[in-house]
Amino acid sequence: MKVLKFGGTSVGSPERMEQLLPIIKSQASDKHLVVLSAVSGTTNALVNISEQYAKGDKEGAKESIDKLFATYKTFIKQLFKTEDGLQAGEEVINHHFSLLEGFSNDLFTSMEERIVLAQGELLSTTLFHFYLKEKGISSVLLAALDFMRIDEEQEPNLEYIKSQLEVELAKYPKETLFITQGYICRNAFGEIDNLRRGGSDYTASLIGAVLQVEEVQIWTDIDGFHNNDPRFVPNTKPIAELSFEEAAELAYFGAKILHPQSVFPAQRFNVPVRLLDTMDLKAPGTLISGNSQNDDQIVAIAAKDGITAIRINSSRMLLAYGFLRRVFEVFERYKTPIDMITTSEVAVSLTIDQTQYLDEIITELNYFGSVEVDSDLAIICIVGDFRNNKLGHATIVSEAVKHIPIRMISYGGSEHNISLLVPAKHKLEALRSLHNRLF
């Protein structure tokens, strides 16, 4: 079995949705499980509707629902070619949009918000299922809410997912094509929930991992990981192969093609992940596995924007154990992850990209010493083979950016990257200088 995940742009129009079938047919596998995101733009619209309901703006929510409904009316008229198909499509969208309108009569809480956000994936998968039916192709629509579950820590319950998914698949021993929703799940209390943004990649990886499939394919609108950001740097090239560790570093530090969490389940169960392009079926894409061929090479560069640096200067650090633990506990209390960290005898500098609780964090950190905050920064991540027996790579990196002010450097925390913190206004210059020097 292969798991094929298609993102929002891959189902963003009736023409795009129609192109999924030849892609699925082209796969050399006995069975396929297709994971779909919501149609492009739908999740953003649903977020807006939720915000309007939460504010009590029922008229605004009704207008937004009507606008999205009109989009789907046009969508199904273009997707379905028969009267029966169009009728089935109308019944699908009527059901889901009646549900959305029904929230105007209820108290709107976070529970209702999660139900609203789930409608995008439920719509796309059901419409695709009926499109295949119209084409005379047998498929099974599996409800992700029947098997995808997270625990009280918001982590996937792998044992539950595996057991329930195997039960669902066993009901259809002769079927070869299955469709399910990305992103959505149930939480530990049985309520509708989600895997957060980017969760469709995560869904595909989780399914592939627990079923031990031969391959997970992530289909997007770009031909795999590139060795730099093609939006800003000319002459970038796709990368043929990456290790799980390299892919995770690139995804975390800014490469938007893959959600950072999505490689971890596949990595744990050693299931290969392949990134492919729906717009160029001949492109080989990028294969992510435990067998990278990138030894002794610098592979790629990525950048992460919106970074804030915090420096705590304190004489209490000198020869003191437990100091860093107490600092980290402040960030833990406010559920704010740290990206980079460097220390000296009397100071610690670290970076964050979530600033929702910055004021509260700074207030608590002032207890330890003087605190300085710098914002509008970017992390440049250079990914490759930086094991301690490799010579010269760090020197090449430093020479490439010697004319750019560096706020922090992180080297040695991983065998796969060097991270540089630079002012955001120097990000593009850093990306291009590194690219010219390294590639």
Annotated binding site for substrate: 43, 121
Query: Which residue, 140, 158, 145, 387, is CA-closest to 271?
Result: 158
Helix axes 393-400, 427-438, angle to 10 degrees: 130
CA–CA distances in Å: residue 348 to residues 299, 309, 319, 341, 407: 30, 10, 14, 7, 13
CA–CA distances in Å: residue 326 to residues 308, 317, 366, 368: 20, 11, 12, 9
Helix (H) or strand (E) holding 219: strand 215-220
Q: Return all residues near 350 (Cβ < 8 A) that are at least 6 apart.
A: 309, 310, 338, 339, 340, 341, 342
In angstroms, rounded to a whole number, what is the distance separating the alpha carbons of residues 411 and 203? 32
| Residues annotated within a binding site for ATP | 5-8, 220-221, 231
| Residues annotated within a binding site | 5-8, 43, 121, 220-221, 231
In angstroms, rounded to a whole number, what is the distance separating the alpha carbons of residues 162 and 212? 10
In sequence order, what E strands does 10-112 have? 32-36
Tell me the sheet residues that pair with 2.
32, 215
Helix (H) or strand (E) holding 323: helix 323-333
Query: Which residue, 413, 410, 417, 412, is CA-closest to 385?
Result: 417
What is the torsional sign of CA 236, 201, 5, 216? positive
Which 3 state secondary structure label does DSSP give 305? strand
Strands 177-181 and 140-141: what pairing? parallel
Q: How many residues does the structure list for the chain?
A: 439
Which 3 state secondary structure label does DSSP give 352? strand
DSSP state of 38: P
